[in-house]
Structure 1
Amino acid sequence: MFNRLMITLTSVLLFSTTPFSAARAETITLRVLGQPSGSGLIAQQKEKPFFEALAEKTGLDIKVEYLPVDVAGIPDTDGLRILKSGLFDIVSIRGPQVSRDEPSVLGLDLVGLNTSFEAGRKHIDAFSGYVGARLESQFNAKLLGVWPAGPQVIFCKPEVKGLSDLKGMKVRVGDQSAANFVAKLGATGISMPFGEVQQSLSRGVVDCAITGPASANSGGWPEAATTVLPVALQLAVNGYAINLNSWAKFTPEQQTKLAGAINELNADIWAFSKELYEDAMRCNTGQPPCERGKPYKLIEAAVSEADLKTVAAAVGEVSLPTWAKQCNAVAPDCEAEWKKSVGVELGL
């Protein structure tokens, strides 16, 4: 009798909790690893608010847990490994930082390749399909779009008038492509976390450093520098990717909604990045209007035709040959695919 009663009660409890459990199972949790909290206004005003409002924007039954990479205590160089592991479902990929794990990413933004937003759109669109295929095969991930932090320019503590003045100096660089470029100029490229640069400039640990004007402004670099040389070397390409197992949790219709929303974010960041660059250049050099940053009074060195030619020539002379060896070592078709897409655009 007791056994029959227990069986009956158990059956009732299971029946009564089944709808509740099914309802909970429909909610998909997306853990998002974002850009560093102190990396600038793109992360603060675009990325973070977007993901926090993603459920409302898409109408999907999702719960989003957004965490900046530095708050999570994860090196940003590990972005693709984290994505592959499934520890996070979506990762805001920092292109230069993850390029050691997947060199093809660097092919989107070699020094001298993207010297303007217009050039960047063209070249990134041409090669992102190949990069996406690599992420899928090597990291079980789907690329959901690519965006630029903005033109990367040079900030120096000593006053400089052009690229030739960098000879003999120590320059903080963001990736190997930039390191190879400054080496060609006779300078020494030094890898250093963004948060350490301002103090390093102040103390003379480095003479110059490369980043976007908005990032430099938010990091206080103009407090330690005297000059900005606004010759664009790269666009500092970043992007979003989702683990394929996480992607498979959604129906095709839901996937379309999610991908569409992130496409809108990418487009929004492209436009915002250009606005930030122009505003930050004014802020850093004390020119009104300065609407989003802190005003400083850096000297803006004039960009010469010789410097523009040096940067443009860097693709064929420095960036491409060095990168191609690295990329071909892990993907034998890498250079060939780049030349068939981006190379055709450049006439190489």
Structure 2
Amino acid sequence: MQRSIRILTILAGLGLSAMAAQAQDFPKINLKVSGGNQTQNLFQKVYKPFFTETLAAKTNGAITTTFGSLEELGLRGPEVLRLLRQGVFDISEATMSYMAGEDSRFDGLDLPGVTVDIATQRKAADAFRPALAKALETKYNTKLLSMSPVAAQMFYCKGDITGLDSLRGKAVRTFNRAMSQMVEGAGGSSVNVPFAEVIPAMQRGVAQCAVTGTSAGNTARWWEVSDHLYALPMGWSMTFFGANLRSWSRLDEKARAFLEQQFAELEDRMWAQAGSDLQDVFYLILGCFMEPLPMMIVTIPIIVPVVVQAGFDPVWFGIMVVLLCETAMITPPVGVNLYVVQGVRGRGVISDVILGVLPFIGSLLAMIVLIIAAPDIVMWLPRLIGAQ
């Protein structure tokens, strides 16, 4: 017994020594980092944990950050690259389209309707990477670290919208030149409104529609000032993380290699999050109009290869699809099962049924959020069975 204790003590000592040696590999560094909009799932689920927890944990506290969102830093977005070039930040996230006024190449990956699925968008991003890296280095004193989409961009509108013709006469909030040209070509007018000011702009009638990703729009409560969501792909709101070259060159060589590896892994997680946001909205909308079985027969052969390539477990995805389909079937105003229940009741009005299902919708949505945040909740049993 005493011998076992001595062995464990020695092993523990060796482990602590290894951890200390690992921490000594990196000098103490604190990086000034600006993130994106804090209303985005990408910020809350990927950026924030990475910069506030992951880097410090993997270096035993050697690499830390002073990290803030655009809102916390009092920034609007378009000025971020200029501040990064000047060395105000060591590392910044920037939305490419916001920079297109300075260089048209930043619009290259956000052309409406050109790439309509996330797998094709990633291929386009990989092909465009050398051109973007060169532009950032030569013109903006910036090293490209990663690039990814926020989410598929769609229309939030006040008033009926069934297609591009419905945009005629409407003022639409856009955030890049290609979007503006498309809206104006359809007979609408584009207005340049910062993300944080969209709700008051739509309340005052400055804009009748606004374009953003569904996760950002829902989190920012755009549904309070709109009543229609039009799922026409308007681009992906591509973003990148870049480092000020002077700050980067001052880092220890081992720290630079470590950060490059970490940002490569971060990029995969960012693409996976964007894919997750897209699939959730897709099935919730489609499920309002179709029964689950035909919906899955039509979509699964197309969606599954994309989901697997984005890094999701197919078992986890199958469970998500079932939950999303069932939620959509009771989601007002056109959830199919609402009308089935009303028909069986044979009395009263449909609004009574809608009020009755709201607690069930809430519990299903809570369950969906929970298994997105903690996939092991649904994966531990399949993994246990597969290991036997």
Partner residue in 2 for 1:79: 80
Aligned partner letter, 2:264: N
**Corresponding residue for residue 92 of structure 1:** 93
Q: CA deviation at 1:52?
A: 1.0
Alignment of 1:43-192 (within 5 A): 43-53=43-53, 54-58=55-59, 61-192=62-193
Determine the C-alpha separation between the residues in 1 that align with 2:72 and 2:186.
Answer: 37
Residue 144 of structure 2 aligns to a residue in which SS? strand
SS of the residue aligned with 1:29? strand
| 2:52 alignment partner AA | E
Task: Give the 3-state SS of the residue equivalent to 2:271 in structure 1.
Answer: helix
Give percent identity, aligned residues only.
28
Q: What's 2:213 paired with?
A: 212
CA contact (8 A) 1:115 1:235 kept: no
Corresponding residue number in structure 2 for 1:327 = none
Q: Is the 8 A contact 1:28 1:62 kept in 2?
A: yes
TM-score (norm. length: structure 2): 0.65
Structure 1 residues 148 and 115: CA distance shift in structure 2, 3 A: same
1-side partners of 2:199 and 2:287: how far apart? Answer: 19
- 1:289 maps to which of 311, 324, 344: 324
**SS at structure 1 position matched to 2:108:** helix
Q: Name the CA distance, whole Å, in 2 between partners of 1:281 and 1:201.
A: 25
**Equivalent position of 1:7 in the other structure:** none
How far apart in 1 are the matches of 2:167 and 2:177? 17
| Stretches of structure 2 lacking an aligned partner (at least 5 in a row) | 1-23, 289-322, 336-388
- Please report how far the alpha carbon of residue 195 of structure 1 lies from its aligned counterpart in structure 2 after TM superposition: 2.0
Aligned-residue offset at 1:271 = 0.6
Q: Conserved in 1, the CA contact under 8 Å of 2:97 and 2:237? A: yes
**Pair 73,244 (structure 1): closer, same or farther in 2 beyond 3 Å:** same
Local SS of the residue matching 1:70: helix
Query: Matched residue of 2:148: which SS?
Result: strand
- List runs of 5+ in structure 1 lacking aligned partners: 1-22, 301-348
One-letter amino acid of the structure 2 residue matched with residue 98 of structure 1: M
Give the drift of 1:73.
Answer: 1.8
Counterparts in 2 of 1:95 and 1:290: CA distance versus 1, 3 Å: farther
Equivalent-residue separation in structure 1 for 2:333 and 2:102 (angstroms): 37
Q: How does 1:228-239 map to 2 (within 5 A)?
A: 228-239=229-240
Alignment length (residue pairs): 273
1:279–1:290: 8 Å Cα contact kept in structure 2? no
1:95–1:236 contact (8 Å) kept in structure 2: yes
* Deviation digits for residues 243-273 of structure 1 (CA, Å, limit 9, x no counterpart): 1112112333322210110111111011111
Residue of structure 2 in register with 1:262 after alignment: 263
Distance 1:209 1:285, change over 3 A: farther
Rounded to whole Å, the distance in 1 between the matches of 2:136 and 2:143 is: 7
CA contact (8 A) 1:95 1:106 kept: yes
2:152/2:213 contact within 8 Å kept: yes
3-state SS of 1:248 partner: helix
The 8 Å contact of residues 85 and 140 in structure 2, kept in 1 or not, is answered as: yes
- The alpha-carbon deviation at position 116 of structure 1 amounts to 1.5
Separation in 2, partners of 1:105, 1:149 = 15
Q: Conserved in 1, the CA contact under 8 Å of 2:173 and 2:209?
A: yes
- 1:146: how far off? 0.5
CA distance in 2, matches of 1:116, 1:100: 26
Could you say if the C-alpha distance between residues 165 and 215 of structure 1 is closer, same or farther in structure 2, counting changes exceeding 3 Å?
A: same
Contact 1:222 1:296 in 2 (8 A): no
CA RMSD of aligned residues (A): 2.6
* Contact 2:171/2:208, CA 8 A, preserved across alignment: yes
Match of 2:36 in 1: 35
CA contact (8 A) 2:215 2:277 kept: yes
The structure whose residues are more often helix, as a share, is: 2
Shift of 1:141: 0.8
Distance in 1 between residues matched to 2:154 and 2:333, nearest whole Å: 13
Q: Which amino acid aligns with 2:124?
A: H
Pairwise CA distance, 1:63: 2.6
Instruction: Please tell me whether the aligned partners of residues 284 and 296 of structure 1 are also in contact (alpha carbons under 8 angstroms).
Output: no
Matched residue SS, 2:229: strand
**C-alpha distance 144-216 of structure 1, shift in aligned 2 (>3 A):** same
Residue deviations 1:93-125, cap 9 Å, x none?
121212223321211222232322012111111
CA contact (8 A) 1:183 1:189 kept: yes
TM-score where L is the length of structure 1: 0.72
Distance 2:206 2:221 in 1: 16
- Which amino acid is 2:251 matched to? F
Question: Quick check: 1:253 aligned with 2:258?
Answer: no
CA contact (8 A) 2:51 2:64 kept: no
Check whether the contact 1:157–1:202 (CA below 8 A) recurs between aligned residues: no
The aligned residue for residue 278 of structure 2 is 277
1:267-318 alpha-carbon deviations (Å, 9 max, x no partner): 1011111111232456679966399xxx985789xxxxxxxxxxxxxxxxxx
